[in-house]
C-alpha cells in the first residue's frame, strides 16, 4: 500500500480523497493555485505545493508542475479526482512512465473510452446500441450545419473531451447549430485544451441513467447498481439519486452486464461510469463512459456501503477487488443535491465572493465511513469566511441523504436544505427545494427535459408554492415575541417606559412594488413551557416551540407536534426592521407591528426603484471577453452586446430592446463586479 499520495485537484473532491487516505493511514499532498492558497483542501493535506496562477490552464492543467510536485514530495501515486486532467490519456501515460501509480484506469482505457468519438466507435464494434450521429471531428460551423440537417433536428453538439456540461449545446435549427458549434469549440478549448466537436441525434424525453463499474488488474469487473441523473439544467446534473425510480430489475441487470462487458473490452481497472440514455420503454443506448470517479459517487456509497475512493486506491496498488457481483448490496435510497454558487432568481448567474456564513446541516454520515447509514452527509471544499473564486466550477458543496425508501429520503433532504445556511453569495438552495416539492419529481415522473419544461421562463419566488404559507407568518410573530420578551427583561429600564410585550400584532409581509399583505395575529405564551407560544392567524392556531438561541440563523423546533427547521434573520438590505423567514424554499420579509403601527405603515408612500433600462449592467462578477458593439451603433432586441466568462462558462448578454449604443464604459479583458456598467444607451 502507498505511504503517500498526491491529489491533482481542488475543492470538495480533493477533501474527499484526503478523508479516505487519512483513514487508511496514507499521507497526502495537495496542490494549489494562487486563488486557492487558503483553500480547505490545502489545510487538510499533510503537505501542499504551489503550482501556478489562478486560471486552471496555468495551474491545475499543467502536468509538468503536478509531476514535479509529486517527485519533490516523494508521493508514490496521484489521484486525479474529476475534471482537470482526470481523463487526460497523455497525463495518465506520463504518470505511469515516471514510475508513479495513477489512481484511475490505465492510459489505454482512457484513450479508448475517455474520448467520446473513439468510445462510440468501440461501443459499436462491441455491438452496443448507439445513438445515430456523426462521430468524426467537425471542422467548421458550416459543416456542422450540414451534418445536423442530414441527421435531423434536434441534434446535440458535443466536445469530444467535454464533461460537466462544458462544451455541449442542443440545436433545433441551422442558426443554433452554427452558433452552438462555435461556443462548444471555444468552451472545449478553454476548459480542456481540446477543441474537437462531434454531433449526434438528440433523443427526446430521455432519461439519463448511469452504471457504476469497478475493475481491478486481475481481470475482475463488477457493477454497483445505477444512478438516476435525469434532473439536469443545461446538461449539468442538479439532483442525483440511487437507485432509479424508473427502471426494472431486468433492465438494471441488462444495463449492468452491458457496462461490465464494455469495461472488460478495454481492460478497465479502477472506478468508472457507463452512461446510458434510456427511453420510455426502458430501451437503452450507450452514451459515453467517464473514466474517473463521478461527482455523484456518494449516492452509490450510501446504498452499497462501499468506499469508492478506498477501492480505487487499493486497485491502483495492485490489490484484487474484495467482493464479487453477488456481494453487491442495494439498501435504502440516497439523494444528492449539488449546492452551487449561483443565483436562481437571476437566471442562475454565477455568484462569487466571500462566504460570510457557511453552516451546513448537522452531519450524521461521513466521508470514508460507510458504517454510518440513514443520515445526512456534506461533501465540501469551502469554509465560513473563505472565498468562492471566479476561475473554477460553481459547485461549493454536495448535500447527500440516505433514507429507508424514496419518500423518506426526499423528506430528509428537504429538512437538510432548510438547515443549510449560506450567506455572502447566492446559492441554488431555493431551486433545489422547489424541485424536491414538485409533484412530478415526488412521483418519479420526469426525464432530462424536466427543468426546461417546468421552468421554461426561468425560476421565480412564486415557483416555490409553500404547503402552508401561514406557518411563515406565524413563525415571524413567534420570533418577534421572543425578541420582545428578551428586550423586556433587560435591566435598568426607565420606570413607566418599560418594554411591553403585548399579545396582539399585525404581520405585514412585504411584497414587490409595495403590494404588502396585513395579517392580524395574536401570540400567547404557555406559562408552563419556556419558549412555547400559541399563535393565532386567520382562524388557524399554531403551537410553536423552540430552544433556538436568538440571533442564530437556523431555527429548529416543533409546530403543532411536528418538527421543523427554518432560517430566521433580523434586518434585510431593504428594511433593517424586517424579519426574513425561509422554509421549504419559500422566503418572506415581514414587519411585525402593533395594530396602530400597522395602520400608520399603510399610509407610507411606496418609493419606486430607479430606471436602469438605459444601462447594460454586468449580471455577475467575471471577465469581459468581448464587447460586440461600438459607440453610436444601432442595435435591435436580441442582438449580442457582450460576452462575460465566469466559472468556466461563457455568458452572452443580449439587447432587451432596440436602441443606440452611447458610451462604452468597460473594456475587453476587464474584471467586472456585479451590476457594473458595461455600456449606456442613448
Q: Where in the sequence numbering do the catalytic residues fall?
A: 288
Rounded-to-integer distance, Cα 470 and Cα 262, Å: 55
Rounded-to-integer distance, Cα 310 and Cα 297, Å: 12
570 has which bridge partners? 579
Closest listed residue to residue 262, CA positions, set 443, 419, 448, 128? 128
Is the bond preceding 432 in cis, omega lying within 30 degrees of 0?
Answer: no
Q: What is the full DSSP assignment across 307-376? A: -HHHHHHHHHTTPPPS--GGG----SEEEEEEEESEEGGGTTEE--EE-SEEEPPPPSSBTTBTT--SSE
Rounded-to-integer distance, Cα 486 and Cα 548, Å: 13
In this structure, how many other beta carbons lie within 10 angstroms of the beta carbon of residue 559? 19
CA distances from 432 to 42, 326, 335, 336 (A): 29, 35, 12, 10
Please give the backbone phi and psi of residue 336, each rounded to the nearest 5 degrees, phi first: -125, 130
- Rg (C-alpha) for the chain, rounded Å, is 27
Grid cell 418519479 — which residue?
A: 444
Q: What burial letters (b/e) apply to 366-378, b meaning 16+ CB within 10 Å? A: ebbebeebbbbbb
CA distances from 90 to 111, 160, 360, 398, 555 (A): 9, 15, 38, 30, 51
Which H helix or E strand runs over 397? strand 395-403
Closest listed residue to residue 325, CA positions, set 298, 312, 310, 306? 306
Q: What's the length of the chain?
A: 682
Chain centroid to CA 606: 37
C-alpha cell at 631: 459607440
Is the bond preceding 494 in cis, omega lying within 30 degrees of 0?
Answer: no
Rounded-to-integer distance, Cα 591 and Cα 471, Å: 15
In this structure, how many other beta carbons lie within 10 angstroms of the beta carbon of residue 606? 8
Closest listed residue to residue 629, CA positions, set 655, 656, 657? 655
Residues contacting residue 434 through CB under 8 Å, at least 6 positions apart? 459, 463, 464, 585
The 8-class DSSP code of residue 130 comes to B
Amino acid at each position: 500500500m502507498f505511504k503517500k499520495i498526491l491529489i491533482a485537484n481542488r475543492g470538495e473532491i480533493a477533501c474527499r480523497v484526503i478523508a479516505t487516505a487519512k483513514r487508511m493511514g496514507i499521507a497526502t499532498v495537495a496542490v494549489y493555485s494562487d486563488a486557492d492558497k487558503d483553500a480547505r483542501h490545502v489545510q487538510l493535506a499533510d503537505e501542499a505545493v504551489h503550482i501556478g496562477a489562478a486560471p486552471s490552464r496555468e495551474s491545475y492543467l499543467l502536468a509538468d508542475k503536478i509531476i514535479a510536485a509529486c517527485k519533490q514530495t516523494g508521493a508514490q501515486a496521484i489521484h486525479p479526482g474529476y475534471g482537470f486532467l482526470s481523463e487526460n490519456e497523455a497525463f495518465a501515460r506520463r504518470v505511469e512512465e515516471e514510475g508513479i501509480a495513477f489512481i484511475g484506469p490505465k492510459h489505454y482505457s482512457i484513450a479508448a473510452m475517455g474520448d467520446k468519438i473513439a468510445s462510440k466507435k468501440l461501443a459499436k464494434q462491441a455491438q452496443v446500441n448507439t445513438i445515430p450521429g456523426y462521430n468524426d471531428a467537425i471542422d467548421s460551423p458550416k459543416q456542422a450545419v450540414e451534418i445536423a440537417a442530414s441527421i435531423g433536428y434536434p441534434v446535440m453538439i458535443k466536445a469530444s473531451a467535454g464533461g460537466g456540461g462544458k462544451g455541449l449545446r442542443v440545436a433545433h435549427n441551422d442558426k443554433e447549430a452554427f452558433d452552438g458549434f462555435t461556443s462548444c469549440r471555444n468552451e472545449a478549448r478553454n476548459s480542456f485544451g481540446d477543441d474537437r466537436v462531434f454531433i449526434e441525434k438528440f433523443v427526446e424525453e430521455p432519461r439519463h441513467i448511469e452504471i457504476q463499474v469497478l475493475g481491478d488488474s486481475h481481470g475482475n469487473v463488477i457493477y454497483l447498481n445505477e444512478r438516476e441523473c435525469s434532473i439536469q439544467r443545461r446538461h449539468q446534473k442538479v439532483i442525483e439519486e440511487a437507485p432509479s425510480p424508473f427502471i426494472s430489475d431486468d433492465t438494471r441487470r441488462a444495463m449492468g452486464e452491458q457496462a461490465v462487458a464494455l469495461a472488460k473490452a478495454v481492460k478497465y481497472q479502477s472506478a468508472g461510469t457507463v452512461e446510458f440514455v434510456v427511453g420510455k420503454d426502458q430501451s437503452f443506448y450507450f452514451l459515453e463512459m467517464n473514466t474517473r470517479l463521478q461527482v455523484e459517487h456518494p449516492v452509490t456509497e450510501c446504498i452499497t456501503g462501499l468506499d469508492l475512493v478506498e477501492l480505487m486506491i487499493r486497485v491502483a496498488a495492485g490489490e484484487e477487488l474484495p467482493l464479487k457481483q453477488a456481494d453487491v448490496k442495494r439498501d435504502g435510497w440516497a439523494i444528492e443535491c449539488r449546492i452551487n454558487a449561483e443565483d436562481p432568481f437571476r437566471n442562475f448567474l454565477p455568484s462569487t465572493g466571500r462566504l460570510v456564513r457557511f453552516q451546513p446541516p448537522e452531519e450524521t454520515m461521513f466521508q470514508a465511513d460507510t458504517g454510518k447509514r440513514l443520515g445526512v452527509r456534506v461533501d465540501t471544499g469551502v469554509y465560513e469566511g473563505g472565498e468562492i473564486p471566479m476561475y473554477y466550477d460553481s459547485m461549493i458543496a454536495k448535500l447527500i441523504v440516505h433514507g429507508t425508501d424514496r419518500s423518506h429520503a426526499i423528506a430528509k433532504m428537504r429538512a437538510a436544505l432548510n438547515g443549510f445556511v449560506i450567506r455572502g453569495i447566492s446559492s441554488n438552495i431555493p431551486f433545489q427545494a422547489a424541485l424536491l416539492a414538485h409533484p412530478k419529481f415526488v412521483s418519479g415522473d420526469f426525464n432530462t427535459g424536466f427543468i426546461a419544461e417546468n421552468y421554461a421562463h426561468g425560476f421565480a419566488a412564486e415557483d416555490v408554492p409553500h404547503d402552508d404559507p401561514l406557518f411563515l407568518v406565524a413563525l415571524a410573530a413567534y420570533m418577534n415575541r421572543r425578541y420582545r420578551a428578551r428586550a423586556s427583561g433587560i435591566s435598568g429600564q426607565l420606570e413607566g417606559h418599560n418594554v411591553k410585550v403585548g399579545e396582539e400584532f399585525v404581520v405585514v409581509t412585504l411584497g414587490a412594488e409595495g403590494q404588502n399583505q396585513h395579517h392580524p395575529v395574536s401570540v400567547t405564551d404557555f406559562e408552563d413551557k419556556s419558549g412555547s407560544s400559541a399563535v393565532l392567524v386567520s382562524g388557524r392556531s399554531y403551537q410553536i416551540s423552540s430552544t433556538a438561541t436568538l440571533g442564530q440563523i437556523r431555527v429548529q423546533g416543533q409546530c403543532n407536534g411536528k418538527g421543523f427547521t427554518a432560517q430566521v434573520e433580523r434586518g434585510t438590505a431593504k428594511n433593517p426592521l424586517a424579519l426574513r423567514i425561509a422554509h421549504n424554499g419559500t422566503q418572506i420579509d415581514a414587519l411585525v407591528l402593533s395594530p396602530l403601527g400597522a395602520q400608520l405603515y399603510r399610509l407610507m408612500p411606496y418609493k419606486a426603484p430607479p430606471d436602469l433600462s438605459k444601462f447594460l449592467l454586468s449580471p455577475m462578477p467575471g471577465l469581459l471577453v468581448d464587447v460586440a458593439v461600438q459607440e453610436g451603433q444601432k442595435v435591435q432586441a436580441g442582438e449580442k452586446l457582450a460576452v462575460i466568462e465566469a466559472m468556466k462558462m461563457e455568458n452572452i448578454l443580449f439587447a432587451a430592446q432596440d436602441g443606440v449604443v452611447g458610451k462604452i464604459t468597460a473594456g475587453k479583458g476587464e474584471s467586472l463586479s456585479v451590476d457594473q456598467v458595461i455600456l449606456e444607451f442613448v
